[in-house]
Every structure is written in structure tokens, then in C-alpha cells.
Amino acid sequence: MQIAVMGIKRIADTILYYGLVSQGYSGTRVDPAQNRPESFLLASARWLTFGSAVTILFSIAISQTLLALALAALLVSGEKLRLPPIKLPLGLFLLGTVISLAFSGEPAAGLPQIRKFYVFLELLVVYSSLRDVVWIRRLVLCWAGIGGLIALRGFVQFAQRWKEAQELHRNFYDYYAPAERMTGFMSHWMTFSGQEMFVLLMLGAFLFFAPGALKRGGLWIACGGLMSLALLLGFTRSIWLATAVAGAYLLWFVRRWLVAAVPVAAALVFLLSPAAVKERFTSIFHPKEGVDSNEFRVVTRRVGMRMIERHPLLGLGPEGVKLHFTEYVPADIQRLPPGWYGHLHNIYLHYAAERGVPTMLMLMWLLLKILYDFYRGLRGLPAERSNRKFLLHGGIAVVLATMVAGFYELNLGDTEVLTVFLTVVACGYLALEKEVVGA
């Protein structure tokens, strides 16, 4: 454990040297909750939690191993384990999942979704151990630095796909858009784009609302530019829309007139973009048959509605959508369009069809409660920049982006995206607590 902690420290210090030192921040060896020197176990829990939240951007195995070590260190240290005040809707969502599984008739098939409960421990360890804003600022800046590096890797993949298309004498859009997009260190472009979006929104909130963020902030602005370009070249339209909505929210609280400039900026990006990017934009309204996903998403929506009509209370059970999809295809659909039919590509339809409408409503309650709590926390804050402000605005932006993108993808079903989401939520609730150091 000590080797792992020291390794995480070395990586974090390397990434953060420029940003934090230039802004006058340094670590602390004081337990903020008790105002006393902290034990090695508690310090280890902090570094391991920090490492778990950071490494999820490039390795789920490392992140979840560090999560287990962080939880063990917290348990042995005697530190109180804490959850944000969303225990009721979260608990009911998880309970609804278990009940749905129990009545599904195929409990073994749904066990992977029960094992995924482990991911929610990220919420617990972050909220229990990162009780100093210095740590949270470190986390956001580490995300930004790694997010920029991952974007660079994505550009290399994009160039490789371009070269492959040329060598195969294929139209680049037809080759790239369906199944050959950049993925960074992830296995799928949706995961890559979802994580980059969350990191970009948190970095934007940091630069807009955190004290001292713009002092020598060129590095972080450059990272934001790289991630923005990566999202554009990622060709994930739902991420484009979600980023635009959440970004407009942030701009509204910086300078309201900037929101009016968003359509102008989008038009300029469109005009200056390569032909393939323009084609991806226009595919929203004029999809290319066999290439764009519009047609198959119509099928998944229709199938999802049929599943919900027949199983409104408990759904088909976890993983039931994948197992029984073809049984619910409407009779007028003679051929399934190209696409992935393992889930419904919509968190609202999918969780209602899989686990029942009541369980889906618990998820909605959870998301709306987070938005309400963060917005209420912002109302009493002064006009000047503060760490509380950047964490709460960033948290709202991430939740809004999740809800918008959730109409087109099962983003919260993705472990890597869910881990970042839970970390952001925990940090936002930490900003609501007066006893958190530096908030």
C-alpha cells in the first residue's frame, strides 16, 4: 500500500507542479475534520482515493484496485464513513435493481449489474476522505492535464484512421463514423467522449469561478482547447449537444451575453471544419443510410416502449434488454438497421424497461435532487469567485450534460463515466459543508 501511495504522489506532483505552485497552493498534513496531524492510514486513504479518481481516465483496473485499497485504509483508520445526503434516492434505485433481479427469472444473467454497485463506493471514499479543497483542486487539475494528454492520443488515432481510409480507398466519413472513431485509452468512443466532456466542464467551471484560476492559467486553457478539439473530432453528436447545453449554463453565470454567442461560435466552427465534420453535423437532420445511427435509435426507442408497456413495475430485470431485445421488435420492422442492440441508448427508457418505471423514477429523483441541492447552495454565495462556486457550478454542468446525453446513450451504465460522475457529485456536496477546509 505504501508503494502505491508514494507512486500516486509522485505522478500527481509532476502534473500539478506548474499549476498549483504558481497559484500558491500546497498540500497539508492536517486532518481538516479534527484539526490534528492525520494518521498514515488516513493520509493513505486520501492518496488512494485521489489515485482512483484520476486513473479512471485511462485504466479501470488500476482505478478499482485503488478504490478497494482506499476503502480498506478508511476502514482500518477508524475514520467515519460518510455519504452525501442523497442516500434515500440512491438506496431506492439500488434496491429497485435488486428487486427487479429477484423477480426477473434470470438472476444469474443480471449479476454483472449487481457487481457494478461496487462503483458507487467511489462516492463514499471521495466524500469521506477528500475534505480539503486543495485536494479537490488538485484532482480537477490532474483531470485536466491527463485529459489533454488523452486528447493528444486521440489525435494520433484520428490521423491513423485517416491514413487507413486513404489506403483502403474509402470515404473517410463512411469509414470513421460507424465504428472506427478515436477512443483515447478507452475501449469505446462514447466512454472517451463522456469522460473528456466531464473533465472539460469541470475545468471550465474552475477557470470561470475558482479564485486565482486564471493566474498563469495558460496550461489549463491549452488543455481545455485540446479536449474541445477532441470532442469535435470524436463525432459523438450527443456529446456535442450535451456540452453545448452545459457550457451555455456556465457561460450564463459568467456573462449572459456570451450565451447568445454560442450559436454564432457553432456556425463558425461548422464553416471552418473539414468536410467530414460538416457531414457529421448535417447527419443530425439528414442521416446517411447504413452509416449514421439515427435509424437504429428509432428502433431501440420503439422496442423500449414496448418493453415498458408489458413490464412497467419491475422491468425485464438487469441485462434483460440485451437478452430479450428481438422478442419486442415491432412486426413492421423487417430488418434491423446497423447498430448496437445490447441496450436502449437512453438512460430513461433503458432503466424503465430493465428495472421498472419506479426504479427509473428513483434515478430521476437522484439527479434532480443533486441539481436542486447544488443550485440552492449557490444562491447564498457572494458574487466573488470561490472554490465552493466552481465546484457547485461544475457539478450542475456535469449533471445537466449527463441528463442531456442520457437521451441518446446509456452513459451512467458505463463504469468509467459513472466513476467520474460520482466523484464530481461527491466534490459538489463537499462544497456545501462549512467545515471543509478552503471551501
Report the alpha-carbon angle 144-264-178, nearest 5.
60
- What is the rounded average pLDDT of the residues 332-349? 92
- Position 368: which residue type? L
Question: Range with the lowest mean pLDDT among 25-34, 63-72, 129-138, 176-185?
Answer: 25-34
Total domain count, the chain: 1
Residue 42 within any structural domain of the chain:
no
Share the mean pLDDT of the chain.
Answer: 90
Residue 422 within any structural domain of the chain:
yes
Distance CA 368, CA 402 (A): 12
Report the alpha-carbon angle 77-90-410, nearest 5.
115
Report how far apart the first and last C-alpha atoms of the chain are (Å, whole number): 30
Which triple of cell numbers denotes residue 30? Answer: 492536517
Residue 18 within any structural domain of the chain:
no
Contact present, 74 and 128 (Cβ < 8 Å): yes
- Residue 183 backbone phi and psi in degrees, to 5: -130, 0
Closest by alpha carbon to 405, among 244, 282, 263? 244
- What is the rounded average pLDDT of the residues 412-437? 92
Residue 73 within any structural domain of the chain:
no
Looking at the DSSP assignment, which residues form a beta bridge with residue 437?
132
pTM: 0.90
Residue 337 within any structural domain of the chain:
yes
pLDDT digits (tens, 9 = 90+) for 37-65: 568 899 999 999 999 999 999 999 999 99
Q: Which H or E run contains 31? A: strand 30-31
Residue 28 within any structural domain of the chain:
no
pLDDT digits (tens, 9 = 90+) for 59-110: 999 999 999 999 999 999 988 999 999 999 999 999 999 999 999 989 999 9
**255 DSSP 8-state letter:** -
Residue-number span of the structural domain to which 273 is assigned: 95-126+171-439
